Amino acid sequence: MRTRSQARKRRQQQVRQTSVESPNLEKPNNNQETFNPPIVTMDDNRTMAQLLEAPTEGYEDAIVVPEITANNFEIKHGLLNLVQNKQFFGHDKEDPHAHIRYFNKITSTMKFPNVPSTSVKLMLFPFSLEGAARIWLEKEPPRSILTWDDLVSKFINKFFPPSKTTNLRNEITRFQQKFDETFYEAWDRFNDLLRGCPHHGFSELHQLDTFYNALNSNDQDSLNSAAGGNFLDKMPRECLKIIESKSKVRQSRSKAIVSKVSTSSSTPAVSSDVAELKDMVRALILDKKNQTPAPASSQ
């Protein structure tokens, strides 16, 4: 008869025998790689203070300026001052297209031998930004702007979103001559709307038709008279010439202008402006006299 201790020993022997025979636990599988935990080594000899310092990497600019190999290349302070004289802040009322046109005009005034103009533009453009516009450029990913076209595209898309395009297109479509507005003023204001949205997509025919139908009856009759009949029966190019010719006469419709200047009621600021204007006129007259050649003396 077995005792309890003998039964216990018997069960322990069966467990050990089962674990030895188990292929998953003891027998190696030649088809699987054995896992060895990585050995961590302390190769960095920096101190704790050095390891906790803020990183000094990752401060590259978004704009990548190509390497300039020209000798003695230098941006003059005069050009830099011109660029900074009219900076773009990113306000809602600012026109990014106008800023690009102004920037192109300024940078085209100076040429550098063996230096592409686009490289100069990429180098100078950040100086033309301030406020929200500068913050936008600083937040762009490093080395993400490689060409001048890339920069213009990102700049316009940021500060001229599709919603602004839609609003300006609607203003162009719904254009109407104001009650006290002359023909010249209406044409000038209409062109300002077109320039404010150069990608409006309206054809020349659509622009002329919109402007003609926005005029009052007197100015429409004046255009018909200048066209020798129905204005819309002319070719678009002919219509444009008639409008431009008429717009040169600024007083196409009588407009009373009453101007009263009183020295007793003028403020010091106005007086100083008038004095400055007079000085400028005198300087222009004097300069013109100096440039006029003296008449030859008769012998």
- What are the pLDDT digits (tens) for 196-232? 888 899 999 999 999 999 999 999 999 999 999 999 9
Q: Identify any residues that bridge with 63 across adjacent strands, giving them in sequence order.
A: 145
pLDDT at 185 > cutoff 90: yes
Task: Tell if the pTM clears 0.75, that is, is over it.
Answer: no
Domain ranges of the chain: 77-159, 164-247
More confident: 287 or 71: 71
Which residue carries 């008429």 as its tokens? 246
pLDDT at 272 > cutoff 70: no
Residue 39's alpha-carbon distances to 43, 53, 72, 77, in angstroms, are: 12, 26, 55, 58
Q: Which residues of 103-135 are buried (b: 16+ CB within 10 A; e: fewer)?
A: beebbeeeebeeeeeebbbbbbbbbbbeeebbe
Mean pLDDT computed over 141-149? 94
pLDDT-above-70 percentage for the chain: 68
Average pLDDT score, the chain: 78
The continuous run of DSSP H or E covering 96 comes out as: helix 96-107
